[in-house]
Amino acid sequence: MTVEVERKFVCDAEIMGKLKDIGAKCIGQHQFQDQYFDSPDFILTLKDFWLRCREGLWELKCPAVIGAKPEDETDTLCTRYREITSFPLIQSEVRRLIREHTAEGSESNSSQREQIDKVTENEDTESCSADDTKWLTDLNLVCFAAYKTDRCSYILEREEGAVRVDLDQADFGYCVGEIEVLVPEGDDMNAALQRITRITAELGLNSEKSVEGKMHVYLQRYQPDHYVKLLSAHIL
């Protein structure tokens, strides 16, 4: 499993020229649609878990450092998420989170627990395919955000290792850049943070302010009540 260490930045008109100047290689441009799922009362996202289907491929982003205090400015501006891409693992982790939440609730949730147990029993006996949406219905998961992104991806080769830069344009009119390093789980994060800091400096991105991702802006516009809850819970 890998941990995605990422820093977002404001995408201005000069960014493509700057990337060229520092030797970035364009590795492609493509469009994809993301659908994000959660329970109607947002059990997953209020714990900072993000369940996504991108063009038929499922992914669960999980907080990599729960409760840890950031050490410095780079730390604060970078996010770290463990990425689960195995469909059976995603299903079992989502079931665990919902079950845990249900157990924390009152006895009146017993019918919901029975429903989750039924899904678990079925999983043991039925083979599941990644395009099977029955598990979503069984776990009462609904799509709460959907948008398309046009992405231009670049690679920067450096002695310490490669760094990826994505320039994203979402279909609801928001552009954002991301500097990203993937780290095998358990490896030291500091090296990744340093690689990101170096590229940030090379691109002349000096802002100390954290930059909003696509989801921030999407929720602010289309799910303002949930956006406020995520802010209050310090998830966003």
- Other CB atoms closer than 10 Å to residue 94's CB: what's the count? 24
Rounded least distance, CB 210 to ligand V4E, Å = 6
Looking at the Cβ atoms of 85 and 190, the one nearer to ligand V4E is 85
| Phi, psi dihedrals of residue 121, rounded to the nearest 5° | -60, -45
Binding mask 88-127 for ligand V4E (x = CB under 6 A): ----------------------------------------
Among positions 34-93, residues that touch ligand V4E (CB under 6 A) are 50, 61, 79, 81
Among positions 170-229, residues that touch ligand V4E (CB under 6 A) are 178, 210, 213-215
Q: Which amino acid is at 229?
A: K
Q: What angle do CA 87, 190, 16 make, to 5 degrees?
A: 80
Looking at the Cβ atoms of 8 and 119, the one nearer to ligand V4E is 8
| CA gap 93, 24 in Å, rounded | 37
Maximum Cα–Cα distance across the chain? 62
| CA gap 5, 74 in Å, rounded | 11
Taking CB atoms, the residue at the shortest distance from ligand V4E is 215
Which residue in the block uniquely carries the two structure tokens 């602010």?
220
Looking at the Cβ atoms of 50 and 58, the one nearer to ligand V4E is 50
Rounded least distance, CB 131 to ligand V4E, Å = 20
| Paired strand residues for 182 | 4
From the list 152, 149, 121, the residue with the least C-alpha distance to 27 is 152
Rounded least distance, CB 4 to ligand V4E, Å = 6
Rounded least distance, CB 79 to ligand V4E, Å = 5
Contact status, residue 179 vs residue 196, Cβ threshold 8 Å: yes
Rounded least distance, CB 100 to ligand V4E, Å = 20
Rounded least distance, CB 150 to ligand V4E, Å = 12
Which of 3, 5, 8, 153: binder of ligand V4E (CB under 6 A)?
A: 8
What's the token pair of residue 14?
């000069």
Q: How many CA atoms lie within 13 Å of 204's alpha carbon, on the beta-carbon side? A: 10
Looking at the Cβ atoms of 5 and 203, the one nearer to ligand V4E is 5
Binding site for ligand V4E (CB under 6 A): 6, 8, 50, 61, 79, 81, 178, 210, 213-215, 235-236
